[in-house]
């Protein structure tokens, strides 16, 4: 592909440790100009840490970098940018209150007045090169996530980047958007940019990468160079990657399936929908707030034992839907019924007592109090209720005792029930949440991105819990931006777009294209 | 009541409004810079007091008001540098450190005053005014508004200057990003720490200058605790102005009117309790808040330390 | 409460205090005073002499009630910076009500009802900030500060316009006779207010650590989003927090009047607010810890006031000392975090 030139970036034995983990373990890796290098690995494999090092957010504990053959240290984000490395982070890092152009001009020389004309010219050139159309004066907060990402790519290229790093860029895109992104990456590659494409999806790595490197548990476990990759079929690559990741160990079969997004698709349980629905939303709308997508007369029904998946690009009203169901957000109009009882005005506690639980995607943001103990977090939604409280007085002994029991039952890895929750790993925090939300008395469960940010093992565990609760007869709603996840879990898949339900289809496991179209707002 | 309407009285009153309002204006503008960048600077009262003391002491010793003003601004910035060190560098709670700095400045300046000035009670003469040609000849208003110490003109000029800076300069963008989404600023290659430190130091200098004006021009002497909550009023002005310098000016005038009226009524020997007049601006601010209360639009990252890599 | 042992906690707080005293000593030296003499005098006067100790304990009473009020608010993440207004207004109304009530009520009933009135006045002064916070999310730092300034002025207006004792030339309220004030404890000069204050802060400590209400407030304070997620009634909790906090502070104002002064003069403002906030922080919002710090601070104040007369070191020095303690606490805490991070990483 590229003449056997010096790599744009070389990593030489780079190691980065955090308290308790080695996030990057002696990684030696080259990235070449004019090549899309897919960096593949599950969550927690150390991809983001590596990006942080290249972007100057952190410094390695050991090892060194070479840029175009010369040793270099990347001490700060500024340093990284100055050396021609542009980074698009997984989470949007733009100032919502500033316009597109203002965001792009951030970081200019402070003593010079803002050069609007020059900036507009650069913006025009880059937008044309990428083939995107965005209003440069629109406030970023008003743009869709896909457009925000395009702005981030433009920013990353703003100062003549020779290396472009994209951290999980497909997570907030429609299938169509992913195609567009692929086109953009190929254009950049043709322009001689070294593109580093980080993903946890094998299919995307194969589709876009000229070269694939595989990370696992902080180590580089193998790579497929372009010479070989060109000649291999998707199936062969899949086998190779699985062999690299898991060795000969067959017990990782589940995880491999999850990695591929190929759990058996199309669950299609025989759900009996002739009876009355357990949960019903009728024409529900919510009030819009700055930067949020509200619901617009949304109706939906769930029957016992069924799993309904909500597909859609992030930011299309999923958050409001989950919060309305949980009782955390008032509706502007419409009704909500549980077993035909109107519960529209009931709060979180009352609905919980009717058996409705909500497993939020913001595990640390709202799901838990990280400074409080595991035990307290396990009872966070029961505060003040017997038997753990007697006339308002906390019975700490009982709370700790019951916590110890749950820690054992749900295999929560924690030094003690009194350990502050924030010290636990993401997977264990999710276990605490699931333990709290999926108690015996629960009959309806709302999951918001249940496997977001989890590694393969914990992803499988969480999906297992969802299947179990459905098998127990719970009505389950799973909101996810990962279509594969919904194909694996759901009986029916509904698609959200701009606060509406565009349509709902039986999950046969084969409607990817149709659902993808619906995610852009096209009718079913 | 007739005395109220004489032109000399009006002139004196308006003159007093400007004199009383200027320190508040400087404090409010200064605080606005910090708040824009995401730092709630509760220590501003201490910065003003440090400026008031240093300004007076240097002006007295060096026989130069200007050296005094510079010393005041520097002293304010010096106190602010502690704020920057503890809150921005070390990520400590901004309210605690702010209160600690205010208490420390109160204690230290009062001590220094005790040992230096308490016995001799020195004071500066009336600070010279600078009359703006032509404008100062306007009847009533001329000598009330356009015959002041140059610091006054500087302070008023800062209003449009800051408005321009916030909207049309790289510094303005950086400040807003530091307060709204520090991670975005960091990703753009601008140090959040440096941006916020600069903002806090500017706040200190503004507040210090305001304090120096109080002691050098307003009172002509230094008294312990003489700022009397002006810094806290500055915080409130900045919060209410929501990033718009012009609104700080309006607020400073409102409080300036009440302070000047208090003095004028005392001198005039009127029988209205001055406390009632003092209450008015606070009352009006609360009234405005109650009537127009909406979700306050403060920078989302206000008061939060920025740690790279944490969200 | 905390996972660390008592020795570590004592060290973590003791070290900053020692450092602050050392730094303060340098300042005293620079001012030409002998720091050892000064410190020795302050402690002998504030803690080690019987008269001084009684004064210290008496001074602690209102400070403890303020501390109790602040713990409630700060634990719930509400920055009640309006202490002075709540304190003073409650004190003035109490000073107006008590001499009037004593005319037709027995002493104990007068005292109890005056305390209740003061608590209500304090609570009412937090109503507007509570409403604005609960309904519209208006930052309480602005509103409580505003209400504080407003309250201080209003207190003076009330004294001059409504409660001015006609028998005095300087504006002040009527005076509650010494015999009708809070009873003294045994043979001391310490009044019963200290008992009220200690009970109050112990009660707050119990509520915060051992009740559902306290846990709810702490959840709101630690992560308001989690509180919404858990379905806690945010608006009622906000009102309750403000009201309880300001009521306790108001009671602080009342016992200062009912126990010590018997009257309020115009322009009297001890400005305890800014002083107690650091103490509560030093104790990390812990009620028991606050008792220790308040006593310590009161001793410094009493000793410092005495030293001002004897050694010509103004009592403002105590302000400087408190400030230094806080700054050194911040430094020690920062270094501690750094070293523990290094220990984990190594």
Q: pLDDT tens digits for A329-351?
A: 999 999 999 998 999 999 999 99
pLDDT band at C187 (very low <50, low <70, confident <90, very high): confident
* Phi, psi of B22, rounded to the nearest 5 degrees: -60, -50
Contact of A108 with chain B, judged by CB distance below 8 Å, is answered with yes
Least confidently predicted of A116-120, C8-12, C254-258: C8-12
Average pLDDT over residues B190-207: 95
With beta carbons under 8 A apart, name residues in chain B contacting C138. Answer: 289, 293, 296
What is the rounded average pLDDT of the residues A218-238? 87
The angle, 0 to 180 degrees and rounded to 10, between the axes of the packed helices B7-36 and B150-168 is 40
Of A141 and B53, more confident: B53
Q: How confident is the model at residue C26 (pLDDT cuts 50, 70, 90)?
A: very high
Beta carbons of B103 and C146 less than 8 Å apart: no
**Mean pLDDT of chain A, nearest integer:** 87
Report pTM. Answer: 0.88
> Which has the closest alpha carbon to B231: B42, B37, B52?
B42
User: Can you tell me the mean pLDDT for B187-213?
Assistant: 94
Percent of chain A with pLDDT over 90: 40
Q: Please answer yes or no on whether C143 and B289 come within 8 Å at the CB atom.
A: yes
pLDDT tens digits for range C221-258: 999 999 999 999 999 999 999 999 999 999 999 999 99
Of residues B311 and B204, more confidence is placed in B204
**Best residue of A17, A369, A414, A446 to probe chain C, by most C CBs closer than 10 Å:** A369
pLDDT confidence band for A253 (50 / 70 / 90): low
Q: Are the C-beta atoms of residues B65 and B73 closer than 8 Å to each other?
A: no
Q: Does B184 touch chain A (CB under 8 A)?
A: yes
pLDDT at A173: 77
**A77 and chain B in contact, CB less than 8 A:** yes
Phi, psi of A40, rounded to the nearest 5 degrees: -110, 140
Residue C143: closest CA among chain B residues belongs to which residue?
Answer: B286
State the smallest CA–CA distance between residue B191 and chain A in angstroms.
8
What is the widest separation between alpha-carbon atoms in chain C? 75
Residue A287, chain B, CB below 8 Å: the answer is no
Residue A107: which of B189, B308, B311 has the nearest Cβ? B189
Please tell me the predicted confidence (pLDDT) of residue A132: 78
Distance from CA of C149 to the nearest CA of B (A): 7
Q: Which residues pair with B204 in a beta bridge?
A: none
Give A264 to chain C, closest Cα distance, Å.
34
Kindly report the nearest CA distance between residue B176 and chain A, in angstroms.
Answer: 8
Q: B7 touching A, CB under 8 A?
A: no
Task: Find, in chain B, the residue whose alpha carbon is nearest to that of C319.
Answer: B107
From chain A, pick out residues whose CB is under 8 angstroms from the CB of C76: none
Task: Decide if C141 and B40 are in contact by the 8 Å CB cutoff.
Answer: yes
Helix (H/G/I), strand (E/B), else coil: B229: coil
Within an 8 Å CB–CB cutoff, is residue B188 touching chain A?
yes
pLDDT band at A3 (very low <50, low <70, confident <90, very high): very low
pLDDT (0 to 100) of residue A22: 85
Do B296 and C138 count as a contact with CB atoms less than 8 A apart? yes
* Cβ separation A108–B170 shorter than 8 A: yes
Q: What pLDDT, on a 0 to 100 scale, did the predictor assign at position B270?
A: 66
Please give, rounded to a whole number of angstroms, the shortest distance from the CA of B296 to a CA of chain C. Answer: 5
Cβ atoms within 10 A of the Cβ of C309, count? 9
Higher-scoring residue by pLDDT: A475, A427: A475
Could you report the predicted ipTM of this complex, rounded to two decimals? 0.87
Provide the H-helix boundaries in chain C: 6-30, 35-43, 50-75, 83-101, 107-124, 127-136, 140-161, 193-210, 212-222, 224-229, 234-256, 273-282, 287-310, 317-345
Residue C208 has pLDDT above 50, yes or no: yes
CA distance B56 to chain C (A): 19
Note whether C211 contacts A383, CB cutoff 8 Å. Answer: no
Kindly state whether C326 is in contact with chain B, defined as any CB-CB distance less than 8 angstroms. Answer: yes
Query: Between residues 390 and 409 of chain A, which touch chain C (CB distance below 8 Å)?
Result: 392-394, 396
Q: State mean pLDDT over C324-329.
A: 90
High-pLDDT (> 70) share of chain B, %:
91
Tokens standing for B87? Answer: 């809150």
Nearest chain C residue to A384 by CA: give it.
C212
Given CB atoms, is B186 within the 8 Å cutoff of chain A?
A: yes
Q: Please say if the pLDDT value at position A77 is more than 50.
A: yes
Q: What is the pLDDT of residue C5?
A: 64
B110 inside 8 A of chain C by CB: yes
- How many C-beta atoms surround the C-beta of residue A189 within 10 A? 21
C74 burial type by CB count under 10 A (0-12 exposed, 13-18 middle, 19+ buried): buried
Chain B residue numbers with beta carbons less than 8 Å from the beta carbon of C85 are none
- Residues of chain B contacting A113 with CB distance shorter than 8 Å: 168-170
φ and ψ of A503, to 5 deg: 180, 170
How confident is residue C3, by pLDDT bands cut at 50, 70 and 90? very low
The CA distances from residue A71 to A79, A80, A83, C296, in Å, are 14, 13, 12, 58
Q: Which chains contact B through at least 3 pairs of Cβ atoms less than 8 Å apart?
A: A, C
Burial tier of B8 (Cβ tally within 10 Å: 0-12, 13-18, 19+): exposed
Name the range with the highest mean pLDDT among A7-21, A173-187, B260-274, C94-108: C94-108
Residue A289 DSSP symbol: -
């Amino acid at each position: 592909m590229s003449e056997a030139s010096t790599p744009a970036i070389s990593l030489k034995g780079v190691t980065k440790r955090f308290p308790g983990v080695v996030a990057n373990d002696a990684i030696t890796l080259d990235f070449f100009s004019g090549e899309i290098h897919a960096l593949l690995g599950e969550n927690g494999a150390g991809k983001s840490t590596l990006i942080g090092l290249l972007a100057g957010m952190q410094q390695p504990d050991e090892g060194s970098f070479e840029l175009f053959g010369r040793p270099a240290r990347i001490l700060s984000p500024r340093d990284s940018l100055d050396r021609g490395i542009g980074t698009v982070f997984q989470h949007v890092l733009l100032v919502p209150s500033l316009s597109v152009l203002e965001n792009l001009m951030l970081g200019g020389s402070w003593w010079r007045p803002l050069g609007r004309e020059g900036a507009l010219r650069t913006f025009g050139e880059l937008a044309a090169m990428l083939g995107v159309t965005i209003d440069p004066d629109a406030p970023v907060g008003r743009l869709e996530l896909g457009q925000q990402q395009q702005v981030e790519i433009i920013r990353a290229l703003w100062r003549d980047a020779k290396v472009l790093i994209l951290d999980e860029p497909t997570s907030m895109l429609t299938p169509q958007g992913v195609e567009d992104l692929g086109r953009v990456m190929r254009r950049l590659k043709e322009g001689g940019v070294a593109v580093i494409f980080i993903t946890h999806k094998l299919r995307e790595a194969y589709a876009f990468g000229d070269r694939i490197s595989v990370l696992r548990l902080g180590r580089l476990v193998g790579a497929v160079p372009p010479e070989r990759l060109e000649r291999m079929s998707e199936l062969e690559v899949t086998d190779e990657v699985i062999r690299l990741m898991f060795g000969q160990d067959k017990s990782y079969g589940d995880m491999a399936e999850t990695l591929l997004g190929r759990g058996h698709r199309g669950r299609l349980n025989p759900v009996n929908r002739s009876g009355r629905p357990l949960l019903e939303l009728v024409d529900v709308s919510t009030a819009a707030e700055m930067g949020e997508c509200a619901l617009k007369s949304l109706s939906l029904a769930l029957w016992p034992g069924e799993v309904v998946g909500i597909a859609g690009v992030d930011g299309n009203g999923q958050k409001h839907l989950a919060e309305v169901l949980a009782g955390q957000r008032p509706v502007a109009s419409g009704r909500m019924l549980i077993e035909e009882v109107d519960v529209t005005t009931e709060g979180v506690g009352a609905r919980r007592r009717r058996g409705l639980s909500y497993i939020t995607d913001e595990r640390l943001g709202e799901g838990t109090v990280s400074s409080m103990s595991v035990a307290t977090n396990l009872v966070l939604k029961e505060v003040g209720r017997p038997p753990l409280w007697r006339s308002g007085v906390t019975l700490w002994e009982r709370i700790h005792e019951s916590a110890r029991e749950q820690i054992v039952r749900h295999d929560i890895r924690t030094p003690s029930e009194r350990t502050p929750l924030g010290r636990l790993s993401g997977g264990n925090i999710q276990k605490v949440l699931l333990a709290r939300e999926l108690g015996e008395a629960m009959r309806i469960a709302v999951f918001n991105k249940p496997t977001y940010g989890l590694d393969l093992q914990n992803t499988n565990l969480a999906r297992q819990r969802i299947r179990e609760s459905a098998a127990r007869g719970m009505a389950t709603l799973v909101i996810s931006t990962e279509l594969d996840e919904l194909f694996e879990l759901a009986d029916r898949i509904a698609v959200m777009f701009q606060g509406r339900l565009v349509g709902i289809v039986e999950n046969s496991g084969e409607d990817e294209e149709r659902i993808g179209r619906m995610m852009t707002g096209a009718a079913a | 009541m007739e005395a109220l309407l004489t032109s000399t009285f009006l002139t004196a009153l308006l003159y007093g409004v400007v004199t009383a309002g200027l320190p508040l204006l400087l404090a409010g503008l200064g605080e606005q810079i910090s708040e824009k960048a995401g730092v709630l600077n509760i220590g501003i009262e201490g910065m003003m007091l440090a400026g008031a003391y240093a300004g007076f002491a240097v002006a007295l010793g060096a026989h130069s008001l200007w050296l005094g003003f510079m010393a005041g601004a520097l002293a304010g910035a010096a106190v602010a540098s502690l704020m920057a060190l503890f809150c921005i560098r070390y990520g400590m709670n901004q309210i605690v450190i702010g209160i600690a700095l205010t208490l420390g400045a109160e204690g230290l300046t009062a001590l220094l005053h005790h040992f230096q000035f308490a016995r001799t009670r020195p004071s500066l003469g009336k600070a010279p005014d600078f009359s703006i040609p032509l404008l100062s000849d306007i009847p009533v208003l001329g000598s009330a508004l356009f015959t002041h110490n140059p610091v006054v003109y500087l302070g008023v000029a800062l209003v449009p200057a800051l408005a321009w800076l916030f909207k049309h300069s790289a510094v303005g963008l950086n400040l807003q990003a530091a307060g709204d989404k520090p991670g975005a600023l960091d990703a753009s290659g601008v140090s959040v720490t440096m941006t916020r430190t600069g903002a806090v130091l500017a706040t200190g200098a503004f507040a210090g200058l305001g304090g120096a004006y109080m002691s050098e021009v307003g009172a002509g002497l230094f008294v312990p605790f003489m700022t009397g909550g002006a810094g806290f009023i500055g915080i409130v002005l900045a919060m209410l102005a929501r990033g718009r310098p012009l609104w700080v000016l309006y607020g400073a005038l409102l409080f300036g009117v009440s302070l000047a009226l208090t003095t004028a009524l005392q001198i005039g020997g009127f029988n209205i309790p001055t406390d009632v007049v003092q209450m008015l601006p606070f009352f009006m601010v609360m009234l405005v808040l109650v009537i127009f209360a909406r979700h306050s639009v403060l920078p989302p990252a206000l008061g939060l330390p920025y740690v790279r890599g944490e969200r | 409460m905390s996972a660390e042992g008592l020795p570590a906690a004592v060290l973590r707080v003791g070290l900053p205090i020692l450092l602050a005293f050392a730094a303060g000593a340098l300042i005293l030296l620079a001012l030409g005073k002998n720091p050892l003499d000064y410190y020795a005098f302050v402690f002998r006067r504030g803690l080690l002499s019987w008269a001084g100790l009684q004064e210290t304990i008496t001074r602690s009473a209102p400070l403890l009630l303020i501390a109790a009020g602040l713990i409630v608010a700060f634990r719930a993440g509400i920055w009640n910076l309006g202490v002075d207004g709540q304190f003073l207004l409650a004190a003035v109304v109490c000073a107006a009500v008590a001499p009037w009530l004593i005319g037709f009520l027995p002493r104990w009933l007068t005292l109890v009802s005056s305390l209740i009135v003061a608590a209500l006045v304090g609570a009412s002064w937090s109503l507007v900030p509570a409403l604005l916070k609960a309904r519209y999310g208006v930052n309480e730092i602005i509103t409580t500060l505003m209400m504080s300034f407003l309250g201080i002025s209003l207190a003076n207006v009330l004294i001059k316009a409504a409660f001015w004792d006609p028998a005095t030339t300087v504006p002040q309220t009527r005076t509650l006779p010494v015999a009708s004030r809070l009873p003294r404890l045994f043979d001391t000069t310490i009044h019963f207010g200290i008992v009220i204050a200690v009970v109050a802060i112990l009660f707050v400590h119990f509520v915060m650590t051992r009740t559902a209400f306290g846990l709810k407030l702490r959840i709101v304070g630690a992560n308001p989003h989690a509180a919404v997620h858990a379905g806690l009634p945010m608006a009622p909790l906000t009102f309750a927090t403000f009201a309880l906090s300001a009521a306790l502070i108001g009671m602080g104002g009342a016992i200062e009047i009912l126990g010590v002064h018997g009257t309020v003069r115009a322009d009297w403002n001890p400005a305890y607010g800014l002083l107690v906030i650091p103490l509560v922080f030093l104790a990390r919002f812990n009620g028991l810890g606050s008792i220790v710090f308040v006593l310590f601070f009161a001793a410094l104040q009493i000793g410092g006031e005495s030293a001002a007369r004897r050694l010509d070191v103004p009592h403002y020095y105590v302000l400087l000392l408190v400030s230094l303690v806080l700054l050194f606490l911040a430094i020690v805490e920062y270094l501690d975090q750094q070293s523990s991070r290094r220990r984990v990483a190594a």
